[in-house]
Chain A
């Protein structure tokens, strides 16, 4: 792995870190995921962290000419502590509500200077669905040339697992000790209403699908959005080695559908192609997570209904009916 060393420059301003890195060799096979790492092994993530897993493949797909804009979220911590960083790319950490707006300014500045640098917001669900939704909406509406990635662990995990707008019905969090009484907010429908040039979902359990989507998104100018499911071991209360398994269960049960929407055309991708036709029981997903310990039979039925409605809606869109 790359050696990591930091140098504090002299002068009145020490607000930055310089890391000495080796640059990855040019990629020969575009279909394969490159070996080069931009998230180094020194991260301070939890064991089994889906956020760092996703970030690893996002940055591999994005390559060196990339700046990450990160609002307050788990990834604020994952990078490590000043004066060192686990990120081998420029990372700009910003206020909770501001990621998409910062990216707007950054993207415009780069384009004004004739630079094609990728500007990627990498934000949690709270920073996207709740406090950051206004800035995201504005940036999408303005046609900002950037990629916004929401990694969704369905709670405010960085502050110790509080309910967010993305927390599903029935899930226990520290602020919904009896289980959440409301449904998960339909972020993708909100984003779709802005007609971004590219919109996709992905899941930490399927890195190739994720990688392909990021790589494709970054070839298209304009506002791109990706929503990635991030099964969180401490938050969802499952063993640390089960992150990938949990993601697969979500997709197989149809609770999470992998797709991309380009030029108004929806395509189901990867493992979701099969799940559109045949799904495992939702209970297989719910029962292995401690957070659903208090879910009621009515809530489980509600979730099943929502899954079926969502699948049917997506199928109609695939079929060109809506």
Chain B
């Protein structure tokens, strides 16, 4: 059904269509509309779920853990301070191999209070064992939220999935999107280690170091196994519903000498920058990174690389730029831009390419 709504609404509608049994909810700007919409669906009966209005984000993830442990589908949403507040439970949920799905509205972290888009919140959770995907349109927010349940619950994966959407830029923009009838696109959840009263066991008991070590390795196996599961899920989605997704998006890359790389809404806006640069005779292309965990490595051989990070790791650098450098051996021009919702346009992005100096870092609007 063709619909007109915000990124938040698209996520909520996808959750409704995925039919979770338990939704834990705590408000935080700019995610709040998601849990408000879900409350409406539960109230009007269009979603038959238990809606738990928890008292904190730590508890929203805890409630999802408790519910998912029994083998039911669960969802919650958060942002910024809420995400970092639940950090402990992110580790716990991934370590317990629970296929929880969560939307995160990317937002900066204080002080001072700033509610603008920034990826530092989710990127600082990169080592928790959660899959992380970054979307760039309202349609993609809907589609990926549906796919997230199938990917998380796949028995080769059994890891939680975080759908990241830029605060305000995507959570609050109103666009056209199409909803689908998922039918059996998401198979019934069948968590193999769900609590079974008839077969009692201990979960998360004292664990010796060598066993803990094996469990960690198992998480990484699940992470690696998620890559073919993601590809298969995206392929099946395209077959059924006609919309194609890939591990990363390429734009005018065929003969590109210089490639711009970014996640989230920058990843769309930079296509306009590529068009502008092409008109100037610069053979530019763009790669929008969609999956940050597992980290998908594109082929950047022989190209100049300009990476825009809407995040920063203090004492290290732009995280995407540096991870790409580590994985691909490229020497990117690392642009730090858009933190705290800083305004960055396609004109600015085109300028990054014009001024690029490989192997250096540039703080947009600050370095002068």
Most B C-beta atoms less than 10 A away, residue of A17, A90, A97, A113: A90
Query: Would you call B206 and A77 a contact (CB within 8 A)?
Result: yes
A91–B96 CA distance with the chains assembled, in angstroms: 13
User: Does residue A274 face the partner (Cβ distance < 8 Å to B)?
Assistant: no
User: Does residue A251 face the partner (Cβ distance < 8 Å to B)?
Assistant: no
Query: Would you call A92 and B197 a contact (CB within 8 A)?
Result: no
Query: Would you call B202 and A134 a contact (CB within 8 A)?
Result: no
User: Does residue A205 face the partner (Cβ distance < 8 Å to B)?
Assistant: no
Given the interface contacts A101-B62, A105-B65, A105-B66, does A12 sit within 8 Å of B55 by beta carbon? Answer: no
Query: Would you call A102 and B200 a contact (CB within 8 A)?
Result: no
User: Does residue B211 face the partner (Cβ distance < 8 Å to A)?
Assistant: yes
Query: Would you call B55 and A106 a contact (CB within 8 A)?
Result: no
Question: Taking the nearest CB of chain A, how far is it from the CB of B86, in angstroms?
Answer: 10
One of A18, A104, A110, A135 near B201 (C-beta < 8 A) = A18
Stretch at the interface among A62-70, A230-238, A239-247, A256-264: A62-70
- Which residue of B has the minimal Cβ distance to A144? B52
A19–B201 CA distance with the chains assembled, in angstroms: 6
Query: Would you call B215 and A15 a contact (CB within 8 A)?
Result: yes
User: Which residues of the other chain, A, contact B21 by a CB distance below 8 angstroms?
Assistant: 109, 112-113
A111–B195 CA distance with the chains assembled, in angstroms: 14
User: Which residues of the other chain, B, contact A81 by a CB distance below 8 angstroms?
Assistant: 205-208
Question: Taking the nearest CB of chain B, how far is it from the CB of A157, in angstroms?
Answer: 16
A212-269 CB contacts (< 8 Å) to partner B: none
- Which residue of B has the minimal Cβ distance to A77? B206
User: Does residue B240 face the partner (Cβ distance < 8 Å to A)?
Assistant: no
- Which residue of B has the minimal Cβ distance to A91? B202
Produce 1/0 per residue, A92-116, CB < 8 A to B.
1111011011111111111111000
One of B24, B97, B192, B204 near A92 (C-beta < 8 A) = B204
Query: Would you call B24 and A87 a contact (CB within 8 A)?
Result: no
Given the interface contacts A90-B203, A104-B54, A108-B22, does A12 sit within 8 Å of B196 by beta carbon? Answer: no
A145–B311 CA distance with the chains assembled, in angstroms: 42
One of A21, A100, A138 near B200 (C-beta < 8 A) = A21
Query: Would you call B50 and A88 a contact (CB within 8 A)?
Result: no
Query: Would you call B59 and A138 a contact (CB within 8 A)?
Result: yes
Question: Taking the nearest CB of chain B, how far is it from the CB of A133, in angstroms?
Answer: 11
- Which residue of B has the minimal Cβ distance to A106? B66
User: Does residue A142 face the partner (Cβ distance < 8 Å to B)?
Assistant: yes
Query: Would you call B58 and A97 a contact (CB within 8 A)?
Result: yes
Query: Would you call A93 and B203 a contact (CB within 8 A)?
Result: yes
- Which residue of A has the minimal Cβ distance to B199? A18
Stretch at the interface among B68-76, B108-116, B133-141, B166-174: B68-76
Given the interface contacts A101-B62, A113-B70, does A17 sit within 8 Å of B205 by beta carbon? Answer: yes
One of A15, A65, A98 near B59 (C-beta < 8 A) = A98
User: Which residues of the other chain, A, contact B72 by a CB distance below 8 angstroms?
Assistant: 109, 112-113
State the main secondary structure of chain A at its contact with B: mixed
A106–B203 CA distance with the chains assembled, in angstroms: 14
Stretch at the interface among B217-225, B265-273, B321-329, B352-360: B217-225
User: Which residues of the other chain, B, contact A15 by a CB distance below 8 angstroms?
Assistant: 95-97, 193, 203-204, 215, 218
Query: Would you call A16 and B66 a contact (CB within 8 A)?
Result: no
User: Does residue B53 face the partner (Cβ distance < 8 Å to A)?
Assistant: yes
Given the interface contacts A98-B58, A105-B63, A108-B50, does A82 sit within 8 Å of B207 by beta carbon? Answer: yes
Produce 1/0 per residue, B21-40, CB < 8 A to A.
11010000000000000000
Given the interface contacts A90-B203, A95-B88, A98-B58, does A83 sit within 8 Å of B66 by beta carbon? Answer: no
Given the interface contacts A92-B66, A95-B89, A108-B50, does A14 sit within 8 Å of B215 by beta carbon? Answer: yes
A108–B208 CA distance with the chains assembled, in angstroms: 32
User: Which residues of the other chain, B, contact A315 by a CB distance below 8 angstroms?
Assistant: none
Given the interface contacts A17-B201, A102-B66, does A109 sit within 8 Å of B54 by beta carbon? Answer: no
User: Does residue A137 face the partner (Cβ distance < 8 Å to B)?
Assistant: yes
Top-4 shortest CB links A-B: A105-B66, A138-B55, A105-B63, A101-B59
Some 13 contacts from A to B, beta carbons below 8 A apart, are: A9-B192, A12-B221, A18-B199, A19-B201, A67-B197, A79-B205, A79-B206, A82-B205, A105-B52, A106-B70, A108-B22, A109-B22, A109-B66
Query: What 11 new A-B contacts, CB under 8 Å, besides A13-B218, A104-B54, A107-B66?
Result: A12-B156, A13-B155, A13-B158, A15-B193, A67-B195, A80-B206, A90-B201, A91-B201, A104-B59, A109-B21, A134-B56
Write the residues of chain A forming the contact surface with B, with a CB cutoff of 8 angstroms: 9, 11-19, 21, 64-67, 69, 76-77, 79-83, 85, 87-95, 97-98, 100-113, 117, 134-135, 137-138, 141-142
Write the residues of chain B forming the contact surface with A, with a CB cutoff of 8 angstroms: 21-22, 24, 49-50, 52-56, 58-60, 62-72, 74, 88-89, 92, 95-97, 155-156, 158, 192-193, 195-197, 199-208, 211, 214-215, 218, 221-222, 225
